[in-house]
Amino acid sequence: MREIVRLALEEDIGTGDVTSIACVPESRMAQGRFLAREALTLAGTELLREIYDALGGVDELTLLRHDGDRCIDGDIVATVRGRARTLLSCERLALNFLQRLSGVATAASHYAEAVNGTNCRVLDTRKTTPGLRLLEKAAAAAGGITNHRIGLFDAILIKNNHIAAAGGVRPAIEQARQSGLPIEIEVRTREELREALECGADHLLLDNLTPAEAADWIREIAGRAKVELSGRITVENARAYALAGADFVSSGSITHSARAMDLSFRLELLPPTETRP
Angle between helices 169-177 and 190-198 (to 10 degrees): 30
Whether the CB-CB separation of 247 and 227 falls below 8 Å is answered with yes
Query: Residue 276 — pLDDT band, cuts 50, 70, 90?
Result: low
Tell me the catalytic residues.
92, 127, 159, 186, 207
Across 37-54, average pLDDT: 97
- Where are the domains positioned within the chain? 2-111+259-269, 117-256
pLDDT digits 0-9 by tens, 89-131? 999 999 999 999 999 999 999 999 999 999 999 999 999 999 9
Burial class (CB in 10 A: 0-12, 13-18, 19+), 86: buried
pTM of the model: 0.94
CATH assignment of 2-111+259-269, among 3.90.1170.20, 3.50.50.60, 3.60.40.10, 3.90.1150.10: 3.90.1170.20
Across 56-66, average pLDDT: 97
Residues whose CB is less than 8 angstroms from the CB of residue 70 and which lie 6 or more positions away in sequence, other chains included = 39, 40, 41, 42, 109
Q: Give the whole-angstrom CA distance, residue 261 versus residue 100.
A: 7
Whether the CB-CB separation of 248 and 231 falls below 8 Å is answered with no
Burial readout 234-250 (b: 16 or more C-beta within 10 A, e: otherwise): ebeebbbbbbbbbbbbb
Q: Give the whole-angstrom CA distance, residue 38 versus residue 4.
A: 27
Whether the CB-CB separation of 82 and 59 falls below 8 Å is answered with yes
Query: Residue 277 — pLDDT band, cuts 50, 70, 90?
Result: low
Whether the CB-CB separation of 41 and 142 falls below 8 Å is answered with yes
pLDDT digits 0-9 by tens, 150-166? 999 999 999 999 999 99
For the domain made up of 117-256, give the CATH fold. TIM Barrel (3.20.20)
